[in-house]
């Protein structure tokens, strides 16, 4: 499960590029960005609670499959923000970002919980601390690889990549 967690986390992401867009293009303040982080933290707790209450008995494969499908669709909502479709739908940027962040984080937590539970279940007795340290290291390294790979690809590819559009849009 640790290798799967790494691969899942090491996939390209738009996190830092969207941060640039939100702060430099939409002019969100530090306070607003802090509130987005609070929403993300609360959404993590909601996701873990939902997993424990409703999904802990469900099949790992089903949870991972469906949350990955829905999570992928939700992540495409960033295109609505960048193309300004949210305003055409009458949804202000701030509300759109809060709701997108909330749903994405809840789905992400529900998605990752089965793998974390599986890692805990197969952990040999008396090395729980070592397993936790390994798991956190893999999570941090996967996140770092995701950001590095995304930045590398954004600088290598042409103007057709959304990341490049965000960086070059003026």
Reported as a single tens digit per residue, the pLDDT across 18-50 is 888 888 888 999 999 999 999 999 999 999 999
Give me the mean pLDDT over the 91-120 stretch.
88
Q: What pLDDT, on a 0 to 100 scale, did the predictor assign at position 24?
A: 84
- Size of the chain, expressed as the number of residues it contains: 170
Q: What pLDDT, on a 0 to 100 scale, did the predictor assign at position 167?
A: 52
Residue predicted with more confidence, 156 or 25: 25
Q: What pLDDT, on a 0 to 100 scale, did the predictor assign at position 68?
A: 85
pTM for the model: 0.75
The values of phi and psi at residue 80, to 5°, are: -65, -40
Residue 149 has pLDDT above 80, yes or no: no
Give me the mean pLDDT over the 117-130 stretch.
81
Residue 110 has pLDDT above 70, yes or no: yes
Confidence of residue 170 (pLDDT cuts 50, 70, 90): very low
In the block, residue with structure tokens 């974390």: 116
Residue predicted with more confidence, 54 or 12: 54
Is the Cβ–Cβ distance between 123 and 131 less than 8 Å? yes
Q: Does residue 59 sit in helix, strand or coil?
A: coil
What gap in Å lies between CA 126 and CA 116, rounded to an integer?
17
Q: Within a 13 Å sphere around the CA of 59, how many CA atoms are in the beta-carbon half?
A: 4
């Amino acid at each position: 499960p640790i290798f799967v967690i790494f691969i899942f986390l090491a996939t390209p992401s738009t996190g830092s590029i969207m941060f640039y867009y939100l702060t430099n293009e939409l002019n969100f303040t530090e306070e607003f960005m802090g509130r987005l982080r609070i929403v993300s933290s609360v959404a993590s707790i909601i996701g873990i609670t939902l997993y424990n209450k409703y999904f802990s008995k469900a099949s790992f494969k089903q949870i991972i499959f469906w949350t990955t499908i829905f999570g992928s669709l939700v992540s495409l909502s960033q295109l609505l923000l960048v193309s300004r479709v949210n305003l055409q739908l009458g949804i202000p940027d701030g509300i759109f970002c809060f709701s997108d962040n909330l749903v994405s984080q809840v789905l992400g937590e529900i998605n990752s919980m089965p793998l974390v539970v599986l890692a805990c279940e197969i952990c040999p007795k008396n090395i729980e601390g070592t397993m936790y340290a390994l798991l956190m290291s893999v999570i941090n390294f996967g996140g770092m690889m995701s950001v590095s790979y995304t930045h590398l690809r954004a600088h290598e590819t042409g103007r057709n990549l959304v990341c490049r559009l965000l960086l070059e849009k003026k």
